[in-house]
Each structure stands twice: as C-alpha cells, then as structure tokens.
Chains A and B, each alone.
Chain A
Amino acid sequence: MKGTYLGEFEELVLLAVALLHDDAYGLGILDEIEAKSGRTVTISTIHSTLNRLEKKGLLTSYMGGATTARGGRSKRFFEITASGRKALIHAHKLRNTMWDGIPQAVWQVS
C-alpha cells in the first residue's frame, strides 16, 4: 500500500515477529521486546499493535494448539507477510540512507 507508515513501536513488534520466526505469539513478542529494548510494555498494547499490523496486511496469523500452561487456551501465532518484509526492508533502507548521509563533522564535535 502506498504510504504505509510504520510507527516506532509497530516496527519493533514487526521486527520481533520476524526474529521469533516460528514462535511469534503475544507473550513471546512481549518478552522479546522487553528484553531487547529494556522497557516495560503491557500485553494489551502488544495485542492491539499485532491486530493493527494484521489489518494493514503486514502480518498474518494462525491458531496453534492448546496447552495446560495456558489454562487450556490456544496461542495465536503471527507470521510476517511479503508486504511486511517489504515494509521492514524499506524502513531499514531509509535509516541506512539517512545514517550514511550524516556528515562526519557531526560525530567529531564532542
């Protein structure tokens, strides 16, 4: 979709889904983000972001099996889609381009 904008947190979630690959479900993503970024996130925020990304077509999901560890409830696993991958690459590229464009002088001033 033209002009799909990825928010900072959306990008984090998308990255986490890509990172966890086969094991990307709500709580796992929460753990991943909390571990890597060091900030506290509520589970409902993760869920709403996941839903939003799915609606944008960047993620798809399927239901997994139920386990006792979850009180008999099943997991919903998320997978990154082609356009999700594209969006990540786009975001990454954009960063790199801008990063490379920063003049050396900026770093030298202490």
Chain B
Amino acid sequence: MEFHRQFGRLVRNIKMKKERQSSSKNKPPGWAIRILRWYCRQEYLDEIEGDLYELYRRRRQKYGHFRTSALYTMNVMGFFRLYNFKGFKSFEISGVTPAILENYFKVTGRSFVRNKTTSFLTLGGLIIGIATTLLLGLYIYDELSFDNFHPNEDLTYRLYSEYKGGREGRDTRGGWTYYGFAKEIEAKIPEVERTLRVKMYGTSEELMEANGVKFNEQFRLEAESSFFDFFGFKLLHGDPTTALSEPHNIILTEKIALKYFNRTDIVGENVRLNNASDFVISAVAEDPPYNTHLNYSYIVPFTPQDNRPWRRTCETYLRLYKHTEFTVLDEKIGALAKSIPELKYIKKIGVLGIRDVYLSGEFDHGRDRQGSMLYIYIFSSIGILVLIIAFINYTNLTTAAYLKRSFEMGVRKIVGAGKANLLLQQFAETYFFIFLATIVAGVAVYFLVPEYNNFLERDLSLSSAKWRIIGILAALPIVFTAIAGLYPALSLSNFKSSKAIKGKTQLGNGKMTRKGLVIFQFLVCQVLILATLTIHGQMNYLRNKNLGFKKDQMLIIPLKGSAVETHKLLKTEFLRLTGIISASVSMAVPGKNFGISFYSSDEIEDFDNDSLSLVFDDFLVDEDFFENYEMDLVNGRFLSRDFPSDSANSLLINETSLNILGWDDPLGKKMENKQVVGVVKDFHNNSLKTEIKPLIFGISHLAKDAKYLSLKLRSSDYLETVGQLKDTWESMITDYPFDYFFLDDYFDNMYRSEERLGKIMKSFTVLAVFIGLLGLIGLAIFMTKQRTNEIGVRKTFGATVMDVFGLVTWDFLKLILIGIIIAIPIALYIMNQWLQNFAYRITPDWWLILASSLFTMVIALLAIGGQTVKAAMISPSETLRQPIY
C-alpha cells in the first residue's frame, strides 16, 4: 500500500515535470498551487487541485494566460475554509449545550477560588495593564484629534516656508508665508477654492483695558473676515459674517469677556489696547477648544498691507474644492513660489494638512501647543508593552496552573471532548478573566481621569470620545481573549489524555515558552527602567547644570509703556527694598529676546574668513548686569562705569565668539568702531537643547532698549518682597500693571515636554514592573509547589535550607538576568537616540546601569523569596507524604 502510494506520487511528479517543461504559459501559477498544497488537507487536495486544474484548462482555451491565472488564484483563495485547513481534522465542536457552557464557567469559578492568590495576581495584572492602555489610548486619541472639528478639515491646508541655513546650519522652517502669496494662489492654482490669512501673536503680551480693568493679555489673533465661516469656531454673541468687517472691531473670547465684564453680552462695549488703539466689541466667541493649534483669546481684523506683499508674513490657510493628491498640491505650490522673484531666497513653500499642523510642532517655534509624533509613538509603544506584560502574566500563570488541571482535561477528553471543545473551554475561561478585568479597568479609568488630567496638565474627557470608548470596551475583551488565550488554549488542548490521566504532568512542552516569556517581560521592564533613569538623569542635568550665570532667585520685570522711560528711577527705588540684593536693566535676559548683529569680515580687525557666518547674539545691558548675573571673565575686564568711554566704544565677547574669530590676543581688537575689552566665560543663553552661540555685550544708551529689569532677591521672604515691589510699581507706574517672572521657572519651562515624558515614563514603568512582579510571584507559587517532592528528596539527602533556597531562586534569577543583559544594549541605543535632541547631555553611566540591574534583581528576589523560603523550610516528612497533583 505504502509502496503503491509512493509510486503513484513518483509517476505524478514525473508527469508534472514534463508538463511544466512544455510551457509555463499553459500552467496555473506555481505559487498559487504551492499555497494550496501548503494549507490544504491532504485528503481534499486531490479533488480540489484536480477540479481547479480542469477549470483552468477549460478557461485557458477561451482567455489569456494572465486572466486565467488570476481566476485560478481567486479560486484558490475561495478554498480558504477552515475545514480545508491542515490540522483541523478533528476540529469539530461537539455537544456544546448550555449545560456544558455552564459547567465551563462553574469549573473556571472553582479553580479561581481554589487558587485565590494566583487568580488575584493574574486578575490584578490584567486590570492594571488594561487600565494603563486605556489611559494612554485616551491621551493619544486626544493628541490625534487636534483640529478635527473644522468644516472640510480634510480639504484644509496650511502653508509653510523653509529657509536655507538657519542658525545652526539647519534649514529653518516656519508655519508662515508672505502676505501676497495667498492672492497668487487664488489666481493661479485652480484646485484652491479660497484662502484665509491670519496672524498669530502667540505668547507675546499686550495690555488690554476694558470696563476700567487692565491686564496683560496673550494670544492676539488677526484674521480675515471669513474666519468663522472658514474654521469651526463658534460665536456666542454677534454676527459671524460681519464681526471682523470693520477695522476697529474686536472679538473677545468668553473667558476674556468674563474676566473684564463678568458677563458675555457685551457687544458694542469698548476695548483699548496698549493705551493707544480703541476697538469696539463686535462679537463674543466661545473659548477655542484645547485641541486646536489656532489658539486665541481675542481677534482683531487682519489688515494686509497690500503695497508690501512680500515683506510681512502671516499664516495662510487653503481650502480646496475636492480631494487632490497631496504631492501634486505640494509641488504646484512649490512651483508657484519658485516663479515669484521676490521669494527666490526661500528654499521651499509647501502645504501641511490642518490636522497635521499640531503634531509637526517644529513649524511653530514659540507657540504654546506643540505636539510630537515621536511622543505618540513612544506612548503607544509603552501602552502596548505594558499590555503585553500583563498578557504574559496571564499566559504563564494559566499554563502553569495546568499542572493541576491536566487531570480534568484528561477526563474531559475521555468522555468525548474534542480538541475544539478544550479550546473553547480555555477561551471561555480567558474571556471570563479579561471581561472581569476590562470592566474593573473601565470603572477605574472613569474615576482616574480627573487625576490623570492634573498629571498631564491636560483636559481629556471621556465624554468627547464616549461612544468610541464604549465600543472599544465592548470589543476589547474579544480581541484580548483571542491574543491572551491563544497560547494557553493551544498548549492545553495538546495534552495527551492517557498521560494526563496517569498523573504525568507533561510540563516539558510549556516550560521553554514560559521561560522565554519571563525573559521577555523583564527585558521590557529593564528597558523601561533604564529609559526612565536616563530621562530623569538628563532632566536633573538640565535643571542643575551651571549655566554660567545666576538664574536662581532672579526676578525679571518686563518694562513697558512709561516704565521704559523711568527705568532708572524704578531701579533706584527697588534697590532701597531690603529684599533686593542687586539690580540691572537690559534689552535681553538669558533665554529671552536677544537681538542679532551682523558683521562682515572687513568690519572686524584681523579677521578675513568669508565662509564663516558672522551673526552674533547681541546683549545690550547696563554696567551692573555682569555683577548682578554673577558672570565670569576669562580675559580683560567687564564693562564698567569707571571707564566712561565704555558706554559708546567698548564691547565684550564670549569664548565661542573668540573661537570663531581666532584671535590670539583679543583685547583691543576692533569690531566696526568698537573695541573688545574683555572675554566673558561661555554661558548658556538659551535652552540646553541648542549649542552656545557667539555673542557680544554692549552698553545700551537708548532708553527704549530697557526691556527687562532683573532683580536678585535675598532668599528670605519672596512673597513679601514681591508685594513691596508691586506697591512701589503701582505708586510710580499707572499705565501698565505689575508683571514679573522668575528666571529659573522660565528655564524649567523650556523642558516641559521632556518633563512630561519623564513623568509618564516613570509612572508607567512602575506599573509595568509591578505587573511583571505579580506574574513572577504567581509563577514562583506554582513552581515551588510543583517541586515540593524534589525539595523533600534533596533535604532527605542532606541539602540545607540555603541550598534549596539558592537552587530554586537561581532558576528565576537566571531568567531575569538574561532579560536584563539583553535589555541594556537596547535601552542604550534608544536613549542615545533621544539624547541627540540635546546639545548638552549626559552619557548613561555604567554604575547606574549596574545599580538599576541589581535593583531589579533584588526586587525580584524579594518578590519570590517568600515562596521559595517557605518551600525550603517545609520538613521533608510532610512533603514526601503528599501526592503530586
């Protein structure tokens, strides 16, 4: 019989080969046949392949090779049916009656109760894992929902410009273009229905006066009159079509209206900006939702200066008639920009879909809201990893529990349960666990959202995504059951009933997988731990690095209006207060608003290198600035009142400038008409993400250069000092309210998104490690129980408690150690990528890596220690009497 079959196959093969040689054009596609043979059950293969072949031959006479092959392939796909698949021979669910289902749940309940500890460990891990994923999902959903509420958001784009050679040799990009470009687009690109120009002022401040109250306000927006028709923002009072039609119209948001008037029906009231220009309120708008990049607190009409269309910039938005291929649109706009001579020094003008504006935060320097696709990727990966860790727990603990349940499985098989029944039972059990966990996690998330919002400094709400969330919660258990239950179900149903009944545990098959999964869990945990530590270290470094000047206890008052003129008097008055150590007035403070000076190489003595850029950050300060900020000198002297000529003829440079200029002896060298009198030690006048730039100091002589008053406070009572400052200010300055900030806060704020990343990483790492430990404890319980006999025998032969403890513990620590060792290079690679964001950064310390690895080991040891010690302590006389499960 066997011979006959083999002979038949041989003959068939020879025949097929011959045919194949004759013409490949007259054969069904080989790969389709291979797929069919790969998945199809042997006993159906003959009739299916035969029928298909006949069908092929018949069609081939009518149609071409290609068409017949396509039809053949489609037929092969048509046979993708479960009963045709290999390995599903006995896949038949028999006799599933309600009574059996009830029995499944009853047994699940019983084993849940019998293994209380491990059941709760599994369940706890699942709950935390699912809740974590839900919370992260909520955040990601919110990040992706930016600007989704505008009409035709899919047809709306914003222009951006790209310049060659920014400050660090990188291309500079900005979310703005020139006034005149919008009209060109409307005239020359037929796909564009219309354009809308706005000008955003972001965080720069203006004084607003209304109803007798004065405040500094941010987020001024200038917009063309069709603003409310173009975007999805809404008005509370007023007519959206005419609200911006007159040049003196102003629209306040609800929040601003309530702040000044305590009510919102204020159309027709007057507003004065900067003590100079008067406006009439034409409408009150709803506060813009958080999820827009177009933030505003008041809107005034956009007044394009059409006589200078290529000088001033603004944000330009486009609305298309219908969907157009993005690259086509992008190229058309780019080509149009190239054709305009005034724009020749712009490298590129392109478009960005309105929903992508927020996430490509790099276009909007200095705006308050910047998303980052990178962070979305990081958070999604964390969410998925935490979930995987929880699923691994489930897998490990369930498969370990089979040791106890193989007997039950054996009996079920003997009384007629097929493989499919066992699979079904296992999935039912998984579903039971996951369903329970999802419900608890859902409820937990509901109550955690306010806390979470505090934590993220955001305003996520469940209600905006309510239906989606309910849908997801309903679908999750099913999806998760499929994922988490797959391995346990397959490994369980493969049990041989004869062995199971005899009490042989057949642990072998699941053991390797379980080990691998534990390694993976601790690999992920260790990567997360190392990443968190690196972020933490870098943040500490950013906060505590000596910036080269004094930023602590430094209070800055921006000067405006009459305060600019009277700054000398103000400074004198403030210095009288006991809380003030020293004071200085300057046009810029570190980190904020420095000017730029250009020098050509022939204006500089002893320097003739044309290829280097000669752009200097320009600090105009008074003579007290250097002492006030505690700056260091490397050469020469500071600018001083002792040298009267300093105010007009002297300047200081920093070390970076000196390096670029390459002077051996900088003192006395001339730059234009000024002489270098000293070199200041490099200090960080910007975020540590960027390199220190060349910089010069000069003395300001114009009153209008007095933009900031810096006060160094005594470290005793800030509140009292600030109160005194306010009183002094108000007695002298009437046109602007007292306003101040602390310089160290300002610098900390530069790293807010990194700070948030660090916070999120920290909490979710703790959760991940916690879930991992839960699983480890559960596993330890099962493993020690299973080895009680072995331990008993060992002790009988003279092993001490320590011997046994070491033996059992080492089994686990080995796995964790492997995980940690694999984790280190992965973590180092990822964190080095992240650290590239910073010009000044830490290098991950070896001792930190070692310490954290040791820490993980110790924690793991503590988690399993209790179980192993307990097992090692039991007297062999007891253990050996017990039967194995």
A interface vs B, CB < 8 Å?
Answer: 25-27, 42-45, 47-48, 51, 63, 66, 68-76
Contact = CB atoms under 8 A, between A and B. Distances in A.
B48 interface: yes
B78 A43 contact: yes
Given A68-B15, A70-B54, A72-B15, A25 B49 contact: no
A63 B46 contact: yes
A72 B46 CA distance: 9
A44 B47 contact: no
A47 B84 CA distance: 10
A69 B79 contact: no
A40 to B, nearest CB: 12
B19 A42 contact: no
Contacts of B840: none
B83 interface: yes
Contact of B55 (A27, A66, A68, A73): A27
A71 B53 contact: yes
B47 A66 contact: no
Contacts of B55: 27, 43
7 contacts: A25-B51, A47-B48, A66-B46, A70-B50, A73-B47, A73-B49, A76-B46
A79 B750 CA distance: 82
A56 to B, nearest CB: 14
B49 A71 contact: yes
Contacts of A76: 46-47
A75 B55 CA distance: 13
Interface residues of B, number: 24
Interface string B15-39: 1100100000000000000000000
A76 B78 CA distance: 19
A60 B16 CA distance: 30
B18 to A, nearest CB: 10
Interface string B63-80: 000000000000100110
Nearest to A73: B50
Nearest to A68: B15
Nearest to B28: A71
B188 interface: no
A25 B51 CA distance: 9
B78 A44 contact: yes
A39 to B, nearest CB: 16
Contacts of B45: 73
Contacts of A69: 53-54, 57
Nearest to A42: B78
Given A27-B51, A69-B57, A44 B46 contact: no
A74 B50 contact: yes
Contacts of A27: 51, 54-55
Contacts of A47: 44, 47-48, 51, 79
A73 B53 contact: yes
Contacts of A75: 46-47, 50-51
Interface of B: 8, 11-12, 15-16, 19, 44-55, 57, 75, 78-79, 81, 83
A44 B51 CA distance: 10
A66 B8 contact: yes
A2 B262 CA distance: 80
Q: Which of B15, B50, B57, B78 has the most CB of A within 10 A?
A: B50
A71 B16 contact: yes
A42 B75 contact: yes
Q: Which of A45, A47, A75 has the most CB of B within 10 A?
A: A47
A41 B789 CA distance: 64
B51 A72 contact: no
Interface of B, secondary structure class, is helix
Contacts of A25: 47, 51
A71 B55 CA distance: 11
A65 B19 CA distance: 19
A109 to B, nearest CB: 44
Contact of B81 (A43, A44, A74): A44
B81 A48 contact: yes
Given A25-B51, A43-B55, A73 B78 contact: no
Report, nearest first, the 4 A-B pairs whose CB atoms are least far apart.
A73-B50, A44-B78, A70-B50, A76-B47
A44 B15 CA distance: 26
A8 B75 CA distance: 23
Nearest to B49: A73
B352 to A, nearest CB: 47
B37 to A, nearest CB: 11
Contacts of B16: 71-72
Given A71-B16, A71-B19, A72-B12, A43 B52 contact: yes
Contacts of B49: 70-71, 73
A47 B47 CA distance: 9
A43 B51 contact: yes
Contacts of A42: 75, 78
A26 B54 CA distance: 11
A72 B83 CA distance: 23
A35 to B, nearest CB: 14
A44 B72 CA distance: 12
Nearest to A67: B50
B75 A66 contact: no
Contacts of A66: 8, 12, 46, 50
Nearest to A29: B51
A75 to B, nearest CB: 6
A8 B354 CA distance: 54
A43 B8 contact: no
Given A43-B78, A47-B48, A66-B46, 13 more contacts: A26-B51, A27-B55, A43-B52, A43-B75, A45-B78, A47-B79, A48-B81, A66-B12, A69-B57, A70-B49, A71-B49, A73-B49, A74-B46
Given A43-B75, A47-B48, A76-B47, A70 B81 contact: no
A42 B78 CA distance: 8
A84 to B, nearest CB: 19
Nearest to A71: B53
Nearest to B50: A73
Nearest to B48: A47
A41 B45 CA distance: 20
Contacts of A44: 75, 78-79, 81
A25 to B, nearest CB: 7
B663 to A, nearest CB: 85
Contacts of B83: 48, 51
A99 B281 CA distance: 82
A44 B54 CA distance: 14
A70 B45 CA distance: 12
Nearest to A52: B83
A72 B7 CA distance: 13
Given A47-B48, A63-B46, A76-B46, A70 B53 contact: yes
A109 B460 CA distance: 67
A80 B682 CA distance: 96
A103 B78 CA distance: 44
A27 B46 CA distance: 13
A27 B52 CA distance: 8
Contacts of A43: 51-52, 55, 75, 78
Contacts of A74: 46-47, 50
A59 to B, nearest CB: 13
Nearest to B33: A71
A43 B36 CA distance: 14
B75 A71 contact: no
Nearest to B15: A72
B13 to A, nearest CB: 8
Contacts of B53: 69-71, 73
A61 to B, nearest CB: 9
Contacts of B52: 43
A43 B44 CA distance: 13
B427 to A, nearest CB: 24
Contacts of A73: 45-47, 49-50, 53
A106 B8 CA distance: 62
Nearest to A47: B48
A76 B54 CA distance: 13
Contacts of A48: 81, 83
